[in-house]
Chains A and B, each alone.
Chain A
């Protein structure tokens, strides 16, 4: 006679589908997942502690190193927090260049997240296509900022390098090519019957649960919470007429589709920036001084918040970073994974929330 027993199944810390080490302990009854809990601590950096007492000129480089995937937004939020604290103005050209670089960063992060999901559900062909597109985005980032990942592009009062006219032309051509590719891959994902089997109706995060767990970013927007997008509050994005996208399903499929849709949105935002990019300075000057601020920006994974206190010399006295992955991993493990019908769906559901352990263990 067949027996069903209650067991605790650990997934990780080292797992072929995890990009970084973490341990998810699933309590199961047969194949049915009853609950899950997370153990962290395999790659704690203590970066907030390292930042304390250092001048902002050093901390801006450290901030980028919190995450190796979405480093641009850490740089942007830290610098914009300092600017807001010390009332430093940014020239319009620089503000638009920041949006271009930030959206390129969002695209490469979303592509990597969707690659990881495709890889996890064994659709490696689409995964590899996506990685090929990511290289094009990283090439554009390198062309504008001089680096692929840790760009340190934003400085108080502006940006480091201007966009040359030939680079702008190249960027437009790349956006045209990427739009075609992403549209094609979105179609592949949307209409793939095997993808649907592994993704639709699995790992559901309801709107109420998303709100309760403070889920953010594409994870929240795939559960019908468009107002969670911090870009709605950013002056440059508002000038560009930004409106967030959202979906209602709240399952793995919705989260991946959400990222595909946001990539196309990023392309359109970059084009808008290029269309209205004025001629002018890229640095307005200004030195950060003493103050205290809580400032948030929209990272590829959701709301990223910095709580900073500086002294008159611009040294960071206190700093706390709240990364979006903290909220999204919590939402994933305590809401999405609870009730998953098969252990086989645990890795894919976990990856669909785009967990960044480096951010979580900052």
Chain B
């Protein structure tokens, strides 16, 4: 089973511009960087969160703390598997900043059913009581199963449910691109 790409939705330049725009929107909407914490969802969300924080630093000349959130233990959809090698891998959460009274910018690569974001919200509020949580995603592909909406979107991509959206990032995949494709046998 693999992924067969049909089209490139975003290339490296488009990804860069989208992240840059999102960074500007975040600063504009929040009137600066005071109280901001950017938290990425493992794995690709963390890299996007770092890029956003870097842009914000360039724009405002102020550092924004970045955190990493692994939502595996908050998932509602992992089923029993044959042996321990096929269990969802638990990554490491790193929220060293106190989130209470902060504005959290939650970052993920693709927004789809909204279940990942539900899990992330539950996990985040176990760390404290943020004054706000805002959601930034690189791609919104629709098909929500929960009442969740992104505050910052790189690109809206209408998809069918059987299609897949794959985000590739330099840090992990050697190249920046967003692909639309299908599951191949």
The answer to whether A binds B is no
